[in-house]
């Protein structure tokens, strides 16, 4: 069964990792997909090609989500290409691991701007378009297990993920009257570019694996199903929710 047949899905930060898996997962479920990306064109074009190989349409739009204008441009380009916006997956994020006491100001500010401001303006731009269209929509934000627990080298990052989770709770209220649902996914530790260096430390990686009741760290594709579900009408009465996708890591105290 295809859960997103005929829908237009937008995904930010979709040239790699969880965003790419979500974009391809949406296409596997019948959606046309617009992806936002920040850096090199090659990975974004590869994602577009993977979607087209599934028989769906795709566009890639370059832009830094920290700039509010990027959100307006991304939504406008998606509407030009596909006529509407049904789903926004706000995924783009950074996590430059760093100790707290000597954290550089520019690292804090950039992390806040990309992860939290970026999500805010993307969600707002998508919601403005959905309200104009008048037939509801679904917004899924990629928050984190880090919205619920801390990290010694993530003092600038975990507040942004708590903020994204909180943003979905408040926008669920603000947008419910328009039948726009807002939910977040809270991934645990997923093997992607964002933590490649951090998990190159074998001891740390083994520790994280051992903390996970399912016995392995996650793959980007582990997020595709939960994101597609929340985006789809299968979740028609789900809004303001946060879905942990962490192999059980959060509940594993001892
Ligand atoms: N990998 C993990 O263990 C977890 C990741 N997350 C979140 O998942 C999301 C995706 O990250 P991953 O797939 O893991 O890593 P990733 O590094 O593969 O993906 C992040 C994407 O965001 C893009 N991006 C970064 N800054 C951007 C900007 N200013 N404008 C537009 N795009 C930008 C990157 O180019 C990249 O494609 C992030 O929000 C991250 O915080 C949440 C929990 C766990
Ligand atoms: C980047 C980290 O490995 C990852 O990011 C998160 O949000 C998780 O909590 C992991 O720490």
Structure confidence at residue 128 as a pLDDT band (50, 70, 90): very high
CA 230 to ligand 1 centroid distance, Å: 19
Question: Can you tell me which atom of ligand 2 is nearest the CA of 199?
Answer: 3
Q: Whose CA is nearest to atom 15 of ligand 1?
A: 194
pLDDT digits (tens, 9 = 90+) for 18-44: 999 999 999 999 999 999 999 999 999
Residue 208 has what pLDDT? 96
Contacts of 114 by beta carbon, 8 Å cutoff, 6+ apart? 64, 65, 66, 92, 93, 94
Contact (CB, 8 A) for 33 and 27: yes
Question: Can you tell me which atom of ligand 1 is nearest the CA of 43?
Answer: 37
pLDDT digits (tens, 9 = 90+) for 171-227: 999 999 999 999 999 999 999 999 999 999 999 999 999 999 999 999 999 999 999
How far, in Å, CA of 100 to CA of 155, rounded? 6
The torsion defined by the Cα of 200, 202, 208 and 209, in degrees rounded to 10, comes to 110
CA 143 to ligand 1 centroid distance, Å: 10
Residue 18 has what pLDDT? 98
Q: Whose CA is nearest to atom 10 of ligand 2?
A: 189
Contact (CB, 8 A) for 80 and 87: no
How far, in Å, CA of 145 to CA of 162, rounded? 9
How far, in Å, CA of 203 to CA of 128, rounded? 46
CA 188 to ligand 2 centroid distance, Å: 7
For the chain, give the number of residues: 254
Q: Catalytic residue positions?
A: 144, 157, 161
User: Which residues sit with their C-beta closer than 6 Å to ligand 1?
Assistant: 12-13, 15-19, 36, 38-39, 64-66, 91-95, 114, 142, 144, 187, 189-190, 192-195, 220
Q: Domain map of the chain by residue range?
A: 8-251
Residue 137 has what pLDDT? 98
CA 86 to ligand 2 centroid distance, Å: 28
- Ligand 1: which of 189, 194, 198, 217 to mutate, most ligand atoms within 8 Å of CB? 194
Stretch (H or E) spanning 21: helix 17-28
Contacts of 173 by beta carbon, 8 Å cutoff, 6+ apart? 240
Q: Whose CA is nearest to atom 3 of ligand 2?
A: 195
Contact (CB, 8 A) for 65 and 14: no
CA 227 to ligand 1 centroid distance, Å: 15
Mean confidence (pLDDT) of the chain: 98
Helix (H, G, I), strand (E, B) or coil at 108: helix
Contacts of 116 by beta carbon, 8 Å cutoff, 6+ apart? 159, 160, 163, 164, 167
CATH class for the domain made up of 8-251: alpha beta
Q: How far is CA 188 from CA 96, 161, 192, 232, in A?
A: 17, 12, 12, 22
Residue 78 has what pLDDT? 98
CA-angle at 54, arms to 52 and 55, nearest 5°: 65
CA 242, chain centre distance (Å): 13
Q: How far is CA 44 from CA 12, 64, 186, in A?
A: 11, 14, 24
């Amino acid at each position: 069964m295809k859960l997103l047949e005929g829908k237009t899905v937008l995904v930010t930060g979709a040239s790699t990792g969880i965003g790419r898996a979500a974009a391809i997962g949406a296409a596997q479920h019948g959606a046309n997909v617009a992806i936002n990306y920040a850096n090199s064109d090659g990975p974004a074009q590869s994602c577009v090609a993977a979607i087209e190989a599934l028989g769906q349409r795709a566009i890639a739009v370059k832009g830094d989500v920290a700039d509010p204008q990027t959100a307006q441009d991304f939504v406008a380009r998606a509407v030009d290409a596909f006529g509407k916006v049904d789903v926004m997956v706000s995924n783009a994020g950074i996590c430059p691991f760093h100790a707290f006491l000597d954290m550089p100001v520019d690292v804090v500010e950039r992390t806040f701007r990309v992860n939290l401001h970026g999500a805010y303006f993307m969600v707002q731009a998508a919601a403005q378009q959905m309200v104009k269209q008048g037939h509801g929509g679904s917004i899924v934000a990629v928050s984190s297990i880090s919205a619920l627990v801390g990290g010694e080298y993530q003092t600038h990052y975990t507040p942004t993920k708590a903020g994204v989770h909180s943003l979905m709770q408040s926008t669920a209220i603000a947008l419910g009257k328009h039948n726009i649902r807002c939910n977040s996914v809270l991934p645990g530790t997923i093997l992607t570019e964002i933590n490649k260096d951090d998990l190159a430390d074998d001891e740390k990686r083994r520790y994280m694996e051992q903390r996970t009741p399912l016995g392995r760290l996650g793959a980007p594709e582990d997020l595709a199903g939960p994101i597609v579900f929340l985006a789809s009408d299968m979740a028609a009465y789900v809004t303001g929710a946060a879905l942990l996708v962490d192999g059980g890591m959060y509940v594993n105290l001892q």
